[in-house]
Structure 1
Amino acid sequence: MTIWPDDDVILYDGVCIFCSRWVRFVASRDDAKRFRFTPIQSAYGTRLAQAFGIDPGDPDTNAVIHGGVAYFKSDAALTVLSNLPGWGWTRVSFAVPKPLRNVVYNLVAKNRYRIFGKYDACFVPDAAMRERVLE
């Protein structure tokens, strides 16, 4: 278990179109503005990734710090989803064994650029979301 001082921070691949859509999905449903976001390509995101053993040059997972604990892969996605209003039902997915969940996660992560594409530069959030981005 790795402890990080900032809470409810989502680390994501800022050039990944799928990952950036995930951030917009979360931001649009997070009415309390609980979650903040940091692209792995930012100085803060790179530090965070390195602290958790994620290669910033070739990230194979997103991460979320929630309750002071870092979650990765399917645990990260389900932790975020289950804390969004109306999405608490996704907690039942934790009953699926983590190795099985992560097979699916890894398949999407490995092929995300090929399937969804890649930005030339890091995704830039709109002004309303800007205050929730840590760089």
Structure 2
Amino acid sequence: MAIFANTEKMYEVLGELFRTLAAEPGIVDTLAADNLTIKFSISEPGGEIWLLPDGQVICGGHDGKPVVEMTLGGDTCHKFWLQQIKMPVALAKGLIKAKGPMPKVLKLMPLLKPAYAAYPAIAQKAGLAI
């Protein structure tokens, strides 16, 4: 059974996570400096989450064009934020597919620590297994 029961639950959990991340110092500055729009295309359940250069988080469709698109399953996303799977391994195994200039995404990796720290509590609050 998939970790997210439905798209709404996924948006609730990951939306809160990305809003928490966007509130962290340095994240919006980095996104804005590179005019970086990131689209997460998630399956199982299906949906998309957008992180815009101004730090806005959109759960659902958006007319913009992503600079970077990450495609992954909901379970992989959950494991990634719990640090049970690392980005290089997920990319190598095809669990995460990335399109776009990877140097820009790699600049964000050190700034993800607050999201890693916040996700277990967000997931647990939503009733997900951690």
TM-score by length of 2: 0.30
Larger % of strand: which? 2
TM-score by length of 1: 0.29
